[in-house]
Amino acid sequence: MSKQSTSVKKPPVKAGERVIFIVTAIFLTLAIIAFGFMEYVRHHSNKPMFAVTTDYQFSPEAKHGMDLFFRRGNCTDCHRALNSGTNMGPGTDLDGEGTKRGMTWIYNFLRMPEKTYPGPTLDHGPGKAAAFVATWNAKDLHAVAAFLAALTAKSGSAVSPIPPSERSPFVDSMVKKFAPASWKTGKYKDMRKNPNVANKNALPTQGGKQ
| CATH of residue 88 | 1.10.760.10
Structural domain includes residue 82: yes
Q: What is the mean pLDDT of residues 198-206?
A: 49
pLDDT reading at 56 higher than 70: yes
The percentage of residues in the chain with a pLDDT greater than 70, rounded to a whole number, is 72
Cβ(158)–Cβ(80) below 8 Å: no
Structural domain includes residue 127: yes
Q: For residues 45 and 100, state if they share a domain.
A: no
Q: 129-144: per-residue pLDDT in tens?
A: 899 999 999 999 999 9
User: Looking at residue 3, what is its pLDDT?
Assistant: 53
User: Looking at residue 204, what is its pLDDT?
Assistant: 47
Query: Which range, of 40-49, 66-75, 94-103, averages the lowest pLDDT?
Result: 40-49
* Mean pLDDT for all residues in the chain: 80
Cβ(56)–Cβ(151) below 8 Å: yes
Q: 69-100: per-residue pLDDT in tens?
A: 999 988 988 898 887 888 777 778 888 889 88
Q: Which is more confidently placed, 66 or 153? A: 66
List Cα–Cα distances, 131 to 113, 152, 166, 182, in angstroms: 9, 26, 43, 54
Q: For residues 58 and 126, state if they share a domain.
A: yes
Query: Considering its fold, how many domains does the chain have in total?
Result: 2
Q: 153-162: per-residue pLDDT in tens?
A: 876 666 666 6
pLDDT reading at 23 higher than 90: yes
Q: Which amino acid is at 78?
A: C
Structural domain includes residue 171: no
Q: For residues 130 and 44, state if they share a domain.
A: no
pLDDT reading at 208 higher than 60: no
Structural domain includes residue 31: yes
Q: For residues 28 and 113, state if they share a domain.
A: no
Structural domain includes residue 64: yes
Q: For residues 63 and 120, state if they share a domain.
A: yes
Q: For residues 33 and 123, state if they share a domain.
A: no
Rounded Cα–Cα distance for residues 151 and 118 (Å)? 22
Cβ(81)–Cβ(151) below 8 Å: yes
Q: For residues 148 and 76, state if they share a domain.
A: yes
Assign 196 a pLDDT band (cuts: 50, 70, 90): low
Q: For residues 21 and 82, state if they share a domain.
A: no
Q: For residues 92 and 76, state if they share a domain.
A: yes
Rounded Cα–Cα distance for residues 65 and 133 (Å)? 12
pLDDT reading at 64 higher than 90: yes
Query: Which range, of 169-173, 186-190, 195-199, averages the lowest pLDDT?
Result: 195-199
Cβ(141)–Cβ(107) below 8 Å: yes
Q: What is the mean pLDDT of residues 193-203?
A: 57
Structural domain includes residue 76: yes
Q: Which amino acid is at 173?
A: S
Range of the domain at 23: 17-49
Q: Which among 76, 84, 208, 78 is positioned nearest to 149, based on CA atoms? A: 208
Task: Supply the pTM of this predicted model.
Answer: 0.57
Rounded Cα–Cα distance for residues 149 and 65 (Å)? 10
Q: For residues 59 and 39, state if they share a domain.
A: no
pLDDT reading at 34 higher than 80: yes
Structural domain includes residue 117: yes
Q: For residues 33 and 119, state if they share a domain.
A: no
Chosen domain end from 8, 30, 49? 49
Q: For residues 60 and 127, state if they share a domain.
A: yes
DSSP class per residue in the chain: -PPPP-PPPPPPPPHHHHHHHHHHHHHHHHHHHHHHHHHHHHHH-SS-SS---EEE---HHHHHHHHIIIIIS-GGGT-EETTEE---STT-B-TTHHHHS-HHHHHHHHHSHHHHSSS--SSSSTTSTTGGGGGS-HHHHHHHHHHHHTEEE-TTSTT-SS--SS--HHHHHHHHHHS-HHHHTTSS--GGG-HHHHHHTPPPPHHHH-
